[in-house]
Amino acid sequence: MKRLGTFYLQDMRAFLSREIISVNGVISKPGETSISVMDRGFLYGDSVYEVTLTYNRIPFLLDEHLDRLYRSAKSIYMDFSFTREELVSEIFKVVEAIEGDRLYIRIIVTRGEGEINLDPAAAKSNNLVIIGRQLPEYPKSWYEEGVTLIVSDVLRNSKRSIDPGVKSGNYLNNVLAMAEAKEKGAFDAMMLNYKGNITEGTTSNIWIVEGDHFITPPLDAGLLGGITRKSLLLLASKNGLNVSEENITPERLKKADECFLTSSTKEIVPIVKVDDSLIGSGKPGPKTQKLHQIYKQFVLDSIS
């Protein structure tokens, strides 16, 4: 097992800043870190990762994120050269080294370095990178006015190629969809599968509201099972809301009463326009806002 670096609290205080990066346990400021260009994460996108947000300096739903990290690694035949306990310890060292309550934490595990060939066995040992930085509150306009998305011409990867259910470093599919969205002046893009059904946004899950019914695409449509998505499915049911997983076509989405996206860092963001079609009234809907309030209370209850 690769030995992670030792970094004591008295050393951390000297590094207190807005952003830091830990590479195999060695914490440095941005611009002072390095990783080999022979790393397979750089060469092939051969890595897995997770992103979480802290509330009051507590990494939110960390166990759920780490469970998914380990599932992703297993799906691509990647073993970790450190224990889960060591990983958690390194995450909290990063949190301790940054000032502020609201922090962005990105955990990246690459297969490691080795000869330039596609054989996974060429890698000797993982590289663990943890990025931590202060995360300002997102613009209020996202939540009060809503955002515009497009339906991308870029199809989501098939589950039989690069499974979207694996949160890997191979993100070119999403990058191309986002590039298309920005070219068209949109906030983000949603991608279809080969059957023409909506899967997800580039970094978020998609939901619609029809009457009193909350609907999100099923996992087998070809999407990443978001942690926030999973929480909302449970919360909606517990709060007596009608919720289901169903395939959604772009035509059905554009006729919905409301639409929104969910992610771990953005929580719930109303979508008020898709392509040239207004969703409902063209303003954030009351059902979306109600669900967001339920989620906010869930966060407060979880960290109190």
Catalytically active residues, by annotation: 167
1, 120, 156 from 245: Cα distances, Å:
41, 36, 18
Q: Give the separation between CA 36 and CA 286, rounded to whole angstroms.
A: 50
Contact 208, 252 (CB under 8 A): yes
Contact 258, 285 (CB under 8 A): yes
Q: Give the separation between CA 200 and CA 222, rounded to whole angstroms.
A: 8
Return all residues near 2 (Cβ < 8 A) that are at least 6 apart: 24, 81, 82, 125, 126
Residue 266: strand, helix, or coil: coil
Contact 242, 215 (CB under 8 A): no
Cα three-residue angle 58-62-66, rounded to 5 degrees: 155
Residue 293, phi-psi category: left (phi > 0), alpha (psi -120 to 50), beta (remainder) = alpha
Cα three-residue angle 175-177-178, rounded to 5 degrees: 65
